[in-house]
Each structure stands twice: as C-alpha cells, then as structure tokens.
Amino acid sequence: MRIMGATIKDVARVCNVSIATVSKYLNGGNVREENRINIERAIKELDYRVNNFARGLKINRSMMVGIVVDSITNMFYTSIISIIEDCLHTKGYSSIICETRRQEEIRNEKLDFLLNKGVDGIIILTTNITKEQLEHYINRGVSIVVIDCVVNEADCDFVTTDNISGAYQATEMFILKGHTKIAIITGEDKEFSAAERLKGYRRALDDYDIPVCDHLIFRDSYDLEGGYKSFKKLVENKGCTAVLISNYYMAVGAVIAVNEENINIPGDISIICFDDLELSKVFKPKLTSVSQSTAEIGNEAVKLLLSRIDGSNSGCRIVRVPAKIIVNNSIKKMY
C-alpha cells in the first residue's frame, strides 16, 4: 500500500491560511507575497505533492495524453514517440504509451483504458484503422490525432509523410539512372502507406511512359517476413534491375534474403528503401533511402492535438510531411 503524503490541508494549517489560498497558489492565482513564501516553504518541508486523483476528479482533466502504437519495437514509431513525449512535456502534458500488437481488440481495450484514465487526447500510430473505430472514441469526447494513416470524413486530425511523393521521387531516381525494369515490394492495400507508396511508384512510371507491370509489384505482409518472401520471389523472377522497398521492416527482410542469395547490391540489383534507420547505415553498400522526418511528424501531431484539446479546432485536418531522398550507394547507373 502506498504511503499517503501531506495534503493541501496540512500545508494550509502550517501556513495559517485556508486551503483555498493554497489551492490558488498551486494553480497560479495571486496570493500575498508573504503567504507565497510561507506556502512554498511548507510545501518543501512537508514534501507536499498534489493528489492527481483528487484534482482529476474535480476538474475532469488529466493533462495526460495517450499514445497508442501498433508495435513498440517498431523503431520508426518509437522515434516519433520519443519526440512526442518530449514535446508534450514542454507543454505540461505527460503521456501514457500503449501497444496494440496490431490487434484490433487489444487496441480497443487500450483505448478504453486510456479514456477511463481520463486522458485529454490520444495519438494513434498505425497504418490501419477504420472510420467506425475512430468515431466510436471521438463520440466519447476525446481528441484524437492519427499518425501514419488517413481516414476520410472522421472528426480528427492526421499526420503522415507525403508517401506518394516519396515513392515518386525514389522511382524517378531509378528512372533517371537509366532503370526501366523497376519493381516495388510493398504491403497490402489495407496498410495505408503501402497503398500510397504504390500509387507514387505507378505515377512516376506513368509520367515517364514506362509500362507498369503487375509481375514487378510484390505485395505481402507489411513486415520483415513479407519483405523476405517478396524479395525471394523477385529474385526468382529475374525480371527487374531495381526495387523500391516500401517499409523499413520489409527492407530488413529483403536484406536477409539478399545475403542468403549472395546477391550483389547494386551490381545485380539496385535498392531504395523507406526510412534511413539503422539498416541503411549498417548494410554495405549503404542504402539509398526515402527519409521520413520523425521529428516533424511528432511535432505536428502534438500541435494538432493540443489545439484540439483547447477546443480551438475541430473538423479533419491532414498534414503531409515531405519525404526526402538520402542518397547512398545502392543504385547502379545503367547508362
């Protein structure tokens, strides 16, 4: 059982003032200089801390934000969460991080839990959520911002990388280096960014009058496993000279396959992958990658959420953070 510390009453008694005065001091109101000094001293001496349960009960606000993430071992997400935490902290908010393991029931459980804890807002990091699920929680009066996917017509905000442009730039880079047989490894349509990146890839080929071939589009689960299997298939096909890998963990899987098959990069095949995390630095040659700005994504998400909590905003805002190519040595010149 937790030890119960001093209460506002104790502070008031020691200072010979009413609890209202102490409360006012605590909440930034004006008190006489003399009282201020006394109160501050008493707080220190008694090691007084406000009881969050009592305060929360009274004001029905917690200054807490929930963060709900598909997987807590996903470095792209944890990089963003680290930014979010820091950013919230400077605004006086703290955060509760929950993992869903990509299971909808668990996600709902965690969202319920957060609402019960009285969080003022929730940031969800996922590639895959439905309008219905969002609305269920929005209707319960909590502000929500979603990172890494967009759902139309929901009363919340969204932050994602400009996936289409990122994939477009990558594909274009292959084309400009003389590639025409360009493959893509990506996730299924239900994964928001997977679908968008495929769109960018298609659009670039279109713009350069290169036919889009179905047999160069490899789709599988949006993870290491899927990347591994897709790359193995791609190698069997022998139909391409370059491949865009549309997510970090798929790239990890692909690299495992590259090693097993003794493939030379970029001699045998050129690669661009999404996210310049560890892999792109550790692999030899260093991988050219599409970099998403985790800092910008995190900051934007917090900005949107807080303006929503303030009540100064509603409706559906969508922020697209630009992607940029980090050039390394995994692309062969074909001319």
Partner DNA sequence: TTGAAAGCGCTAACAC
Partner DNA sequence: GTGTTAGCGCTTTCAA
Among DNA, its own copies, none, what binds residue 37 when CB lies within 5 to 8 Å by partner kind? none
- At its nearest, how many Å lie between DNA and the CB of residue 31? 3
**CA separation for the pair 42, 63 (Å, rounded):** 25
**CA separation for the pair 183, 214 (Å, rounded):** 9
**Interacting residues with DNA (CB under 7 A):** 4, 7-9, 16-21, 23-24, 26-27, 29-32, 34-35, 48-51, 54-55, 57-59
Site size toward its own copies, by CB under 8 A: 54
Q: Confirm if 148 and 184 have CB atoms less than 8 A apart.
A: no
Among its own copies, DNA, none, what binds residue 162 when CB lies within 5 to 8 Å by partner kind? none
Q: Please select the residue that binds its own copies; options are 255, 304, 305, 321, rule is CB under 8 A.
A: 255
Sheet containing 270-274: order of strands: 217-219, 182-186, 242-245, 270-274, 288-292, 323-326
Nearer to DNA among residue 23 and residue 79 (C-beta): 23
Per CB under 8 A, which region of 55-63, 161-169, 206-214, 232-240 contacts its own copies?
55-63
Nearer to DNA among residue 7 and residue 221 (C-beta): 7
What single letter denotes the amino acid at residue 250?
M
Of 47, 13, 46, 19, the C-alpha closest to 31 is 19
H/E/C letters for each residue in 131-186?
A: HHHHHHHHCCCCEEEEECCCCCCCCCEEEEECHHHHHHHHHHHHHHCCCCCEEEEE
Q: Among all chains, which residue has been given the structure tokens 């190698």?
A: 235
Binding string, 84-123, against its own copies, x = CB under 8 A?
Answer: -x--------x-xxxx-x----------xx-xxxx-x---
Q: Is 266 helix (H, G, I), strand (E, B) or coil?
A: coil
Residues in touch with its own copies (CB under 8 A): 1-5, 49-54, 56-57, 60-62, 71-73, 75, 78-79, 81-82, 85, 94, 96-99, 101, 112-113, 115-118, 120, 140-142, 252, 255-256, 259, 278-279, 281-286, 311
